[in-house]
Amino acid sequence: MKVTKPKQGEAIDARASALREEVRMIFKNVVEPLDQLELIDQLQRLGLDYHFHDEINRTLKNIHTGQKNETWEKDLHATALEFRLLRQHGHHISPEGFKRFTENGSFNKGIRADVQGLLSLYEASYFSIDGESLMDEAWSFTSNLLKDCLENTVDLDLQMRVINALELPLQWRIPRFDAKWYINLYQKSGDMIPAVLAFAKLDFNIRQALNQEELKDLSRWWSKLGMGEKLPFARDRLVASFFWSLGITGEPHHRYCREVLTKIIELIGVYDDVYDVYGTLDELELFTDVVQRWDINAMKELPDYMKLCFLSLISVVNETTYDILRDHNIDTFPHQKKWFNDLFECYIVEARWYNSGYHPTLEEYLKNGFVSIGGPIVMLYSYICTEDQIKKEDLEFNEDLPDIVRLACEIFRLSDDYGTSSAELKRGDVPSSIHCYMSETGVSEEVSREHMMNLIRKKWAQINKLRFSKENNNSLSWSFVDIMLNLIRAGHCLYNAGDDGFSVEDVVAKDTLVSLLVEPIPL
């Protein structure tokens, strides 16, 4: 069926293409490497970079191979910005350049007053590769100094940027979640380019309207399913699930991926509550077994609420299998079935632990927990729903959960526990990573939380290392790894921003969501 666009929609599209071409010309005319880097950084923060992938990649490639001048070499901000952007896009650059700002292995006290430089070095330090001690030093040096300088900085906008960065670094953020905030800062900044600003606002609104449409369709799916009423104990948070999928990929052409991920995440949330909160152990053992057999005839053994769970599961898997087979000529059914079986296997382990009062060690807990958090299954669905060409061998490589996937999912587990474990403990649930470590070592909750944050940083550095190592390059594309990491970035944004350790429910009701999905930017 052909859908005719309303006149107003056509005018907006035309305006957007005109602005896009104008920005492309502006990009082309910027020649100084530092100016180019600043522009790329701004486009990324404004959420516009997806329009200019080719330009960005070409420019960074040239900068990577080009020569730097002397002024550049004395500029901490320039050195750090170059380091961060090159590494972000897969160009290996050594941290040697930072040695110019050190004395006897420690950063020079002389750079204390350069708040912009410190901030850039702080952001760069999150791109460190495990084992780079200079970058560890950069992180502790800058995070301490930035906290101190908050009291003295006079420039209010710079202060806001420092607060925002200390809350979460760029490497851990989803730029689109902060795009509105940044547009506001950019609008006031001295190097603002009107066409870039206008395009950022318009593009934000266009994507918002698209997302609203997607959410409307998904809400229809969810209310028709009726699980909210039939399983009132389980979470009913379609908007939150959509929000996760939007974090994983916000690009307009990944609409199908957002649709599937929202459904999967919403259902996983319900099944997780069945295992954690509602089901008796006997029922759960039975359910796990029926799903293992994937046998519709065996369904009669289940209580009605579990029949609904099983049927909703089969239905979404069948539908996705159909779509992928139609569009990619590959049968993903055995894979999808395996992903759910692996997930439920880990859910049941936790249910058994809880029911027997067993306290696992942190290591034992994490070995199960990196799967039970749902990271692997969501990453695998992201893979089949975003790749232009799904290859069987790549799918299998991914499915075996190589180190980079495992590390990412461990981070996801740790940051979920960071945000949700207090509520879970009160309600009655398996002890979280924080509590496993407390009973194992006898430390306080505060110390244990600090330990988890250090572990998270360490695991990120290990991921950065693997991204640059040969053995991971064959199967996982740079851009897919980014999509995969977006899941844990969304986790950081929802669980770890600020010190209050809030949970998703609270956040979702908060400003981020309304501002992202409801309120357009006045043009």
CA angle (390 as vertex; 211, 347 as ends), nearest 5: 70
Q: How far is the CB of 401 from Mn ion (least distance, A)?
A: 19
Q: Which is nearer to ligand 0FV, 171 or 372 (CB)?
A: 372
Q: Which does 42 bind (CB under 5 to 8 A by kind): Mn ion, ligand 0FV, none?
A: none
Which single residue brings its beta carbon nearest to Mn ion?
420
Q: Which is nearer to ligand 0FV, 203 or 429 (CB)?
A: 429
Q: Which is nearer to Mn ion, 336 or 420 (CB)?
A: 420
Q: How far is the CB of 421 from Mn ion (least distance, A)?
A: 6
Structural contact between residues 495 and 503, judged by C-beta atoms closer than 8 angstroms: yes
Q: Which is nearer to Mn ion, 233 or 478 (CB)?
A: 233
- The distance of Cα 369 from the centroid of its chain, to the nearest Å, equals 18
Q: Which does 374 bind (CB under 5 to 8 A by kind): ligand 0FV, Mn ion, none?
A: ligand 0FV
What secondary structure letter does DSSP report for 97? G
Q: Which is nearer to ligand 0FV, 208 or 433 (CB)?
A: 433
Structural contact between residues 243 and 514, judged by C-beta atoms closer than 8 angstroms: no
Q: Which secondary-structure segment (H or E) carries 107?
A: strand 106-107
Out of 316, 378, 414, 508, the residue judged to bind ligand 0FV by CB under 6 A: 378
Q: Which does 431 bind (CB under 5 to 8 A by kind): Mn ion, ligand 0FV, none?
A: none
Q: Which does 484 bind (CB under 5 to 8 A by kind): ligand 0FV, Mn ion, none?
A: none
Encode burial over 275-302: b for 16+ CB neighbours within 10 A, e otherwise.
bbebbeeebbebbbebbeebeeeebeeb
Q: How far is the CB of 232 from ligand 0FV (least distance, A)?
A: 17
Mention every residue, 6+ apart, whose C-beta is less than 8 A from residue 245. Answer: 257, 258, 259, 261, 262, 265
| Per-residue interface string for the shown chain with ligand 0FV, residues 416-445, x marking contact by CB under 6 A | x---x-------------------------
Show the tokens assigned to 282: 């006997």
Q: Which is nearer to Mn ion, 329 or 356 (CB)?
A: 356
Cα 385 from Cα 255, distance rounded (Å): 9
What secondary structure letter does DSSP report for 102? E
* Footprint of Mn ion on 380-439 (CB under 5 A): 416, 420, 424
What secondary structure letter does DSSP report for 161? H
CA angle (247 as vertex; 244, 252 as ends), nearest 5: 115
* Footprint of ligand 0FV on 355-374 (CB under 6 A): 372-374
Cα 461 from Cα 480, distance rounded (Å): 18
* Footprint of ligand 0FV on 236-295 (CB under 6 A): 244, 265, 268-269, 272, 276
Cα 153 from Cα 159, distance rounded (Å): 6
Q: How far is the CB of 254 from ligand 0FV (least distance, A)?
A: 16
Q: Taking the CB of residue 393, how many other CB atoms lie within 10 A of it?
A: 9
Q: How far is the CB of 220 from Mn ion (least distance, A)?
A: 26
Q: Taking the CB of residue 196, how many other CB atoms lie within 10 A of it?
A: 21
Q: Which is nearer to ligand 0FV, 366 or 378 (CB)?
A: 378
Q: How far is the CB of 361 from ligand 0FV (least distance, A)?
A: 18
* Footprint of Mn ion on 249-288 (CB under 5 A): 272, 276
Q: Which is nearer to ligand 0FV, 268 or 366 (CB)?
A: 268
Q: Which is nearer to ligand 0FV, 259 or 272 (CB)?
A: 272
Structural contact between residues 285 and 348, judged by C-beta atoms closer than 8 angstroms: yes
Q: Which does 123 bind (CB under 5 to 8 A by kind): Mn ion, ligand 0FV, none?
A: none
Mention every residue, 6+ apart, whose C-beta is less than 8 A from residue 22. Answer: 195, 199
Q: Which is nearer to Mn ion, 236 or 482 (CB)?
A: 236
Which single residue brings its beta carbon nearest to ligand 0FV?
374
The answer to whether residue 42 forms part of the interface with Mn ion (CB under 5 A) is no
With CB under 6 A as the rule, give the number of residues binding ligand 0FV: 12
CA nearest 460: which of 172, 70, 45? 172
Structural contact between residues 105 and 137, judged by C-beta atoms closer than 8 angstroms: yes
> Applying CB under 5 A, which residues contact Mn ion?
272, 276, 416, 420, 424
Task: Give residues in contact with ligand 0FV (CB under 6 A).
Answer: 244, 265, 268-269, 272, 276, 372-374, 378, 416, 420
